[in-house]
Structures are given as structure tokens and as C-alpha cells.
Structure 1
Amino acid sequence: MRYSRCHLLGTLLPLVPFSTAAPAESVRFPRHATVVDHRAVANNYTFIIAGGGIAGLTLADRLTEDPNVTVLVIEAGPLDQGQDGILVPGAYAPYLYFWPNLITVPQAGLNNRTPGAITAQVVGGGSTINAMVFLRGDADDYDAWGSLGNPGWSWQGLLPYFIKSENFTAPDASFAATANISWDDSIRGHSGPVMNSYPNYFYPGSANWWNAALEIGLPAVKDPQAGSKEGVFWMPTDLDATTMTRDHARRNHYDRVKDSRPNYHLLTSNIVCQVLFMGKVAIGVSYVPTSGGGSSCTSSVYASKEVILAAGGFGTPKILQLSGVGPRKLLNKLGIPVVADLPGVGQNLQDQPTLTIPYNCELTAPPHVVTANVVPNYGTLLTNSTYNAEQRALYDSFHEGAYTIVSSLSTNIGALSLQQATSSYKDIIAAAKAANPAYSLPADVDPTVLKGYKAQRAALLNQFASPNVGVGTVHWGTSDSALIYHLKPLSRGTVNINSTDPLASPLIDFRTATDPVDLQVYTAIFRKNRELFAAPSMQLLGPTEAAPFGAHLTTDAEIAAVMRDQINPTNAHQCCTAAMLPLELGGVVSSDQKVYGVQGLRVADISHWPFQLSGAPMATMYASAERLADLIKKQYCLAGAC
């Protein structure tokens, strides 16, 4: 009898020999796709997917198109209950399904603060709790991924999968003309599963912001999905245009097909403890209820073809490390037998840090100070119960009005290349080139990981010099604050287990702003935001930058000092912790997302990205999962792929 060690309690789990595991085809499956509990999980599936977010559910949908394939998705969270906070944009309440008790270690670049780290714990993953921004990266992002030793990755290679994944509904033509919404229909998908469109309302003050952006030289972008979005545009969102509700991955890749897929099982509220190996071959997983409840990870299930990890930027490296795939030094420290020594697992952590800038909108007209902001605005929903009730009734009855906009946001956003952000962009690039890249990484970094980071950094600095790649975004919610985002940080963090308990949170260290160039870029974006608020169209509203910022902060050093106390290191876009890079560059997976050093194991989620996009992750995750599904189908001749 072969055994695999379950690291939770140190108990031994008997493994079914790979050659005699019960074939999936011998299991009697129900007529429809089924949400199962652990008692109804079959012994063997063709594929097991750890994680039911965008990547996991997209793959499960596409792979089960072949009726001879069986798939089990194991998701740590529950099914959402269709709450308004999830489905209704204007009632947005993402905290309903946050993963509990995720706290960073003290952040050295942020005055040793310990902010919370956000990730989803729900079927649908981030698509269920994010701010609904459905935005591709810039073309150079995907081309640069390919240039780092990943053949097959490029903008042109991924574009067909963007189109395949999407079902775009154009807004009403007259509204689009009034609102400055434009798009290129040739690069939008119209028959895919993922609904996306635009709100059918805008706050009047957003016109001031839009015009101010034009006044400071930002161009209006025809279509931000076309591969270059530097300028101002309406944010595409994952809206079902018929109901004006969120179209998350559970809806578009599980609910859509469940009545016709008896070969699709979904196990909710369970965490994958580890991948089970026979030698170097992944043959299944062990799992445990997320609630714990005194259970050890003695439940196991087997895969006849592959185990696919889709547990997110924190969860996937944790599972790999618990399974003996990761840095040997870490595994030895915790007594975990090494299956594959991969120093890059849990390294290269990135997010897109955010900064909120408070504003007062007042004009002094002696002897009075009056609010000059245009009403209604987002704040009116919070302060005027009559307006709020009217807008909710309008939404409920006709799917129109302010509740079609994600709560706290507006409809317009500006994406900035470094050239657009500052005339000093060459000085910033020169400073970055002069710095020792090792200083952007932990002190004990493996030489291969450092080598891979140097390759990334060179690609990123080329993007910094390009007018066609965004490094940051600016946004105003029309009320009392602006948001700016840093899309391309040079700092790199880590996610490492500190226990063999699969229910324990890993140690999360974003290491935000440990590379001084990141604060130079952030300061440039901050100053561009100031310029926008000083433009004539915004000055009509009387905006005054408020504490802890304000006009008294004049030097870059003064601004950066306040930023260190205010930057949120996460926009819940954590990525890149099982990077798709060559092994000699600290990579964890190959260009077809297979984990190095083992067989039958892939990474499907955002962990496999080499570095961040100039955009939000969601649209790319749908497209990349479509791409991976085709690769897997081709390898195994599924659904007529051969």
C-alpha cells in the first residue's frame, strides 16, 4: 500500500494505486450538474480543480463540454445567496464573502502597518465581490509575457479568447452619444458566456471630471479593450444588460450549464489541503471542511488525468508548498517532504496598490461657504434618503438610474502612461535602471528568482518608456474622494506557509513601496490627479484636497511621507506567485501552465502571471482560462479537439 503524508495532523492517508483507481466513467452521475457534499463526491474524476473562481469555473464548464469527461471543483467558500450586495451594483457590499482573518505581516515600506489582505471565499471567486470592472490589459502586457520565455502568449494570440469569452451588449445609441461612450465592435465578443455592458446613468459631476481630463491633455479613448487605453473612457463592467445585475462566474460558467452537465460536480465550503502524488505524478487531492469542525484532512479524491490549481494568488502557492512543491529551505523547515524544489513558489507577489485622496467641494461666497459640487452625486445616495429611495425604486422597476453604477464609483476613469503622468519620466526610468534589482526583493532571494525578476524589470522599464502602456489610473467617485491606482509596481512580496495546518493563513508580505521608484511613480500619478482637479471644469466645483493631504504638501518627499501612511497595498489583485517563466528564471509553470518537476499538475489562476497588467484582472482571467481549456482539450483529444 502506498501512502502520502497529510501534514495537518501527521497522519497517513492510504492512496489508491494509480493504475487501479476506479475510472470516472464507472461512477453513476446524476442527470444535472450537482453541488455535492463530501459524502457524494465520487472516488475518481478525470480532472480535479482546486478553486471555484473565474479560472476554475471556466475550465470546468469548457472541459465538461465533453460528456466523457468528469470534473470536480472544490471551492473553499459557499454559494452566494443572491444578496443585493452581490448582484445590485449600487448596493455593492464585497465584504459579504471576504476570506476571514487575512492580515499582512508588518509592511516595511508603509511604516510597519499591518493592513488586511483581501481575497474572495465564495463560488465565483473575485468575480463575485470585485468592483465589476471588466477591462483588458494593454497589448504590450501580453506580448511582454511572451517575451519572457512563454511562446504562444501575445496580444494577438489572446484576442480570440477575449472575444470568445465575452457577450457585450452595447448601450442605447442616444445615451452613448450623450455620455461619451464609444467602442470598437470588431474587437468585442457577442456570443460568449460573460455578459458585459455599461451603466445606463451617470452622475452630472462626472462630466466636469471628463472635461477636466481633456483640458489637461488626456485623450478620449475610443475603446479601452483594443489594446491601448491611455486616456479617459467609460469603464466596461460585467453587467447583464437585461437585468442590470452582476454577471459573475457562478452565473456564466456554472448556473448557465448545470441543467445539462451531469459530469460537473461542485464541492463547496471545503479547502484543498494538498496535492497527492505518486512519485512525481499528481493523482489527486486531500481536502477538509473550511469550517474545520475538528476534521482532519483525511478525505481524498483522485484524478485520472490532471489536478488543476485555481485557488488564487494566496491559495495556490499555499497548496503547492503544503504539497511539497516549493522552496526546499521552507519545506525542510516545516518537515514537508520535497516533491519538487521550486524556489519561485510564493515569490514574486504583486498587487495594484490604491490611494484614497479626500476632497471638500466648497466655494466661498462671503459671508457664506457653500457646497459647489453638482447634485446628485454618489454622496447624495448616502445623505438624502428620498433620493436614495427614488433611485432604488427606479432600479427595481426599470433597471435604470444610479443603482446601475457600482457603489462609491463613478463611470469614468483615466489610464496614464508614465509619459502622460510626468515630464520627468526619463529620470524615473534612469533611477530604476541605476538601482540594484536585488533591493526590490527579500534579502534571502534565490538566485534564479532574482534572475527572473531582472528580466521582468527590464520588460517593465520598457513599458515605462512607452506611451501605450499604463502605469496608473485616476478616478473620482463624484463625491468626496478620488482614487489613484499604481498598476505596475517594481516591489515584490512573498506568500509563505508558516504551518502545516491547511486551515492556517499563510504569511503575506506585499513589501509595498520597498522599491523607492514605486513612490516616484505614485507621486507622479498623484500630481497628475492634482492637475486634473485644478483644471477649469473641476474648479467650477470648488474641490479642495483635504487631510491628511492638502496644499501644504508641496515637495515629492512630503507627499511620499503621507503616502506611506495611507497607501492600501492591495486592490485584491494579488498575482504572480507561481510565475509562468522558464525554470532558470525562478519560474513555477511553463507556458502551457504545467508545474515544473512533476506531472499531471497545472496552475490556472492569476498566480501564473509573470507581472501585473495595465488593467483589472477579470477579463484576462476569463480569456486565459478559455485558452488553457483549449490546450487541455487538444492534449487529451477532448470534445473533438483532435
Structure 2
Amino acid sequence: MVKTSCLWSSSYGFLILVVALICLPNAHSLQSNSYMGFVSNATEFKSEEYYDYIIVGGGTAGCPLAATLSENYKVLVLERGGVPHGVRNLMTPEGFLTVLTDVDTHDSPVQSFTSEEGIPNARGRILGGSSAINAGFYSRADQEFYRKSLIEWDFREVNQSYKWVENAIVFRPELKSWQSAIRDGLLEAGVGPYNDFSLDHVVGTKVGGSTFDTNGRRYSAVDLLNYANPANIKVVVHASVERILLASSSDYSGPQQAAIGVVFCDRLRRYHHAMVRKGGEVLLSAGSLGTPQLLLLSGIGPRPYLSSWGIPVARHLPYVGQFMYDNPRNGISIVPPIPVNHSLIQVVGITNSGSYLEAASSRIPFASLNPFFVGAPSSPIYLTVATLMEKIIEPLSAGTLRLASTDVSVNPLVRFNYFSNPTDIQRCVNGTRIIGDVLRSRSFQDFRFPQLFGGTDFRFVGPALPTDQSDDSLMEDFCRRTVNTIWHYHGGCLVGKVVDADLRVIGIESLRVVDGSVFSISPGTNPQASVLMLGRYIGQKILRERMRST
């Protein structure tokens, strides 16, 4: 999904960085970019305007949420990034790596950050959010996610919300050489049964959905804005929300505090106020970093901590920024001796031993094999690299998010505490052992090189698995040495701790959180499908609530 790197300090480091990026969306005619008719720059926004709903963040949840609410109400979406329309590399699998490695420029759709344990990671910074920069894999949530999320689910509406998304932006991928080998290798390794193509979470090996169509064109959450009522929606880009405006109970009916609007800044550093009409809400969809950060900057969080920053306390909520999770990823990369097509994530192995397995392949510049390589030709030689990785299910190791600055544009500090819980390290060992089984399968014989004195072996890029994969200590060491992110971080505003079962911020009227920060576990193999569903689902829920109240 996003830029990453590894902890390995070898000359292969940059190559692994690039390979890791791979791990990282009839109604399909919706991709007409008609949404551009209601998109404007923040510099064009009046100093103050009123809406029924203000959505902070036009990302994976924010776009379907906005499209849904616009059916009956005036909606404003405030997105800190720009628009994907016209960004050629962003829209194709081949341009995937180019976009993800070109980070932190003035108009980059990716904002990098590094966790406090030194693991590079990234955030989406564009309309469509991380759904516009990821590897496009689409698979629904597992049942454990619904059970543990504590959200009051209506499963009929959940299913309809998934279908609403899928009719617009989800496709069946065509498997080529590497993905076909992964499928066969997983089955030989015992990750069965074979479930063919399925959008559901089912144990075994399956082909999932993709948000890249058959022509290789990306679809994302932004395309769901084409469902919106153009008369009822305004999307403002390059709008950096700095604070939620709150009113005391003496000024507003309800509990002690209520959200009445937001303050945001445009690129000329001019400030604007967006205000909520009576009966409306501020909806935070700024992501698992942006949402808890904005709550803290608005005075909603642990009282002693906010006071230490000189931030006036509006509501003491001790768990804002707590219980941050990230699913650690480990794996291997090889140079195949045979032609391998470029592929992003298409096949997944869903195990009963605490891990999911995925794979990807790409062509990268030969010069990136060595960061000290000199004399590279002006027309670089490209090398095909294929990678196979495992992601642990439901990490139990929890971390924290803290402010690094009172400037909202500065990334908060986040520590995920990878493998601090021993169950997580055992799940990684289980997953990496399956990678070893796949490498030993008949399906992978063609990916070995002949050796000088007979036999065959893989040509690894970066660390290989330990030779003795029955040795727990060696496997645990491999997991710790090669730990990385798969960009599925979540938490920081958990249900029951920061928000209630309807995702309302506890003790604050007219303020909800609608994004992955409310999740205690990442849904299924990849969270994209469920975050998209969540936006639609909560939008429908709010519409029903308003209908009952009138």
C-alpha cells in the first residue's frame, strides 16, 4: 500500500524496500470522474459555511460515507491532499512503485512516517486515501472481526454495503505465472481447500478481488463519490483540519460538550470555519493516525497528557491514542530464472495457525541491488524480483500514539511494540514455516537456479529463511530481524474506550469516528474492503437515525 523499508542494513536494503512496496480498487462505468464537478480547492472556500455533515478526511471510509449522506443532506468533505484525477502513475499497477517511492514532495499522495521502533510506514494523502495508493487486494472481513469489534452490526446491511462497493470498484483478477505458482504452492503446503475466486473470508487458498480492472486501471474510494448527489455535496482538497470546534452545554443542548464545526487551513495559510447545522455532526475519517491526533489537538484525550502540552482539556478520555496495533509482516524475496509477470496481491492463503500468506512480483532497476552502485547506464537494466510474505492474524502486541507537535501536519509519534506479546512471535514462526513449505513444493522447482556442483537452489535477495526451520529460536530470530509492516495499522480510538457502539465519541455530542482507528483487529486478510463497507454502513445508519428523529 505504501512506502516501506526493512531493518536489514545490508547492500540489499534498498531493493527490499522496493520489493516490499508490492505487498502493499453494469456499474463499473462509475469511473467517469464526474465527482470532479463538486471538488474545489480550499483557497476557494468562504471564511465560514454551514453543512449538515462535515467529514474530515476523504479517504477509504470518508468517500463512501459522504456519498451516502449526500442522498438527503448537505455534506462537506475536507481532504488534506489533492485529487488522483490525472495522476497517471497512480492509476496503473506499473506505476505503483513510482508513486510510492516519490514521497513527501509538495503534492505527494503518500506521507511517510517511521514508528518509534524504526519501522518505516506511510499514510495516504490524497482524495481516496490509502485505497488510492495500495496494492488493490479486496477481501471481506472474517467473523472474528465482527465479534470483537463491539460495533452493533446489522448483517443484512453489512452485506448490502459490501455489494454497493463491489458493484462499482471490484474485479476478478487474471492470474499469471507468479500468482499461479503461489496458488499451487500454498495448496501443496497444505493451505487448503482451494476456494477459487471469492470475496468472502474462507479458510484455505483463494483468489481475491482487485480494485484494478482488467485493463489495469485503478479504482478506489474516490470513485464511490460518483454515487453522490452533486447538489448536496462539496469536496474541498488541500484543506488541513487543525481543530474541532466545541461548544459547552450552556451554548448547546445535550451533554457537556458538542462538536459544532472545524477550523481548517488552506495552502495559503488562511483559516476557514466549517460549521454544522442543528441536528448534524462532525465525522472524523482521518485514519488511524490522523483521527486520534486531531482529537488530542482538540482537547479530547488524557487530561494530564493534554495539560503537559498546554492544550485546554475539553473532555478527559484516557484511551485516545492507546491500543495502536500493526500486523507485522515477514517474508523472502527471490530472483526467478524464468520470466515472471508483474503482479500485485491476487492470491491469499488463510491458515488456522495464526497467519495469512500473500505474494507479489515486480521489475526493479538492477542498480538498486546496491545503494553504492556507480556507473549505472542511462537506460537502466531491470531485474524481476518475486516476494512471498506472511502477515500475522490479530496481533496482541499493543502500542501508543503521542503528539510530536501541535502542528497537525507533523506526523504523531507511534510505537506498535511488535512481538512484545509471545503469541505474536509464535504466529510469525508458524507463518514463516509455511513459506518454507511453499518453497519446497513442486510448484516452485522452476524458480530455482542450477548450482555449480549439482542440485538447485533459490537466489535470494536479502535474508533467506533459516536452514533448520524446526529450530524455534532461529525462526524467532528471523522474525525479529526481518519484521516490517504490511500497512494495516489500526486502533487509537477503540469502541468502548473512545467511542460507543454507534461510533459516537464518548461524552461529546455530534461527533463520530468512522475509520480504522475504531478497530481492535484488522478485518480479514486486508482491511480495505471492510473500511469501504464501514463508510457506507455508518452513512446508512445515520440516515435511518435522522429519519426516525423527524
Pairwise TM-score range, normalised by the shorter structure: 0.7 to 0.9
Aligned to 2:263: 286
| Cα distance per residue 1:555-605 (max 9 Å; x no partner) | 22122223323211x322221111112xxxxx1111111000110100011
Contact kept, 8 Å, 1:71 with 1:264, in 2: the verdict is yes
Contact kept, 8 Å, 1:136 with 1:224, in 2: the verdict is no
Which of 533, 556, 567 is 2:472 aligned to?
Answer: 556
Letter in 1 for 2:347: N
Contact kept, 8 Å, 1:35 with 1:266, in 2: the verdict is yes
Query: What is the DSSP-based 3-state SS (H/G/I as helix, E as strand, rest coil) of the residue aligned with 1:225?
Result: coil
Q: Distance in 2 between matches of 1:250 and 1:476?
A: 25
Q: Distance in 1 between matches of 2:189 and 2:467?
A: 22
Contact kept, 8 Å, 1:313 with 1:606, in 2: the verdict is yes
Letter in 2 for 1:40: F
Q: Distance in 1 between matches of 2:276 and 2:309?
A: 27
Which of 324, 343, 350 is 2:318 aligned to?
Answer: 343
1:104 and 2:101 are equivalent in the alignment? no
Query: What is the DSSP-based 3-state SS (H/G/I as helix, E as strand, rest coil) of the residue aligned with 2:481?
Result: helix
Aligned to 1:276: 245
| Cα distance per residue 1:270-305 (max 9 Å; x no partner) | 21111000110100011123x5x6x37x43221111
Contact kept, 8 Å, 2:331 with 2:432, in 1: the verdict is no
Which of 365, 374, 377 is 2:340 aligned to?
Answer: 377
Query: Which structure has the greater CA radius of gyration?
Result: 1
Contact kept, 8 Å, 2:494 with 2:517, in 1: the verdict is yes
Contact kept, 8 Å, 2:42 with 2:239, in 1: the verdict is no
Which of 249, 260, 264 is 2:221 aligned to?
Answer: 249
Letter in 2 for 1:35: S
What is the RMSD of the two structures over their aligned residues, measured on CA atoms?
Answer: 2.6
Q: CA deviation at 1:153?
A: 2.3
Q: CA deviation at 1:525?
A: 0.4
Aligned to 1:429: none
Aligned to 1:413: 348
Q: Distance in 1 between matches of 2:115 and 2:80?
A: 20
Aligned to 2:458: 544
Q: CA deviation at 1:509?
A: 1.0
| Cα distance per residue 1:197-251 (max 9 Å; x no partner) | 1233512x4433322322222210245433x42211113101345x541111112
Aligned to 2:404: 498
| 1:200/1:474 CA distance change after superposition, 3 Å | closer
Q: Distance in 2 between matches of 1:117 and 1:551?
A: 26
| 1:44/1:225 CA distance change after superposition, 3 Å | same
Aligned to 2:379: none
The alignment covers a number of residue pairs equal to 465
Q: Distance in 2 between matches of 1:156 and 1:636?
A: 20
Q: CA deviation at 1:551?
A: 4.5
| 1:240/1:551 CA distance change after superposition, 3 Å | closer
Q: Distance in 1 between matches of 2:189 and 2:45?
A: 61
Query: What is the DSSP-based 3-state SS (H/G/I as helix, E as strand, rest coil) of the residue aligned with 2:111?
Result: coil
Aligned to 1:473: 357
| 1:90/1:415 CA distance change after superposition, 3 Å | farther
What TM-score do the two structures reach when normalised by structure 1? Answer: 0.68
1:609 and 2:519 are equivalent in the alignment? yes
Moved more, 312-321 or 473-482: 473-482
Q: CA deviation at 1:90?
A: 3.0
Aligned to 1:9: none
Aligned to 2:164: 164
Q: CA deviation at 1:608?
A: 1.3
Q: CA deviation at 1:334?
A: 0.7
**Which residues of structure 1 form unaligned runs of 5+?**
1-30, 108-113, 168-193, 362-370, 379-401, 419-469, 582-586
* Larger helix proportion of the pair: 1
Which of 214, 217, 221 is 2:190 aligned to?
Answer: 217
Aligned to 2:134: 130
Question: Which contiguous aligned blocks of 4+ residues in structure 1 show a shift greater than 4 angstroms?
Answer: 154-157
1:326 and 2:301 are equivalent in the alignment? yes
Q: Distance in 1 between matches of 2:119 and 2:534?
A: 30
Which of 326, 331, 338 is 1:356 aligned to?
Answer: 331
Letter in 2 for 1:102: F
Aligned to 1:424: none
Aligned to 1:565: 481
Q: Distance in 1 between matches of 2:482 and 2:75?
A: 44
**Which residues of structure 2 form unaligned runs of 5+?**
1-35, 103-107, 249-256, 363-384, 449-456
Which of 424, 437, 441 is 1:518 aligned to?
Answer: 424
Letter in 2 for 1:115: I
Aligned to 1:196: 170
| Cα distance per residue 1:147-174 (max 9 Å; x no partner) | xxx4x2265652232123321xxxxxxx
| 1:350/1:303 CA distance change after superposition, 3 Å | same
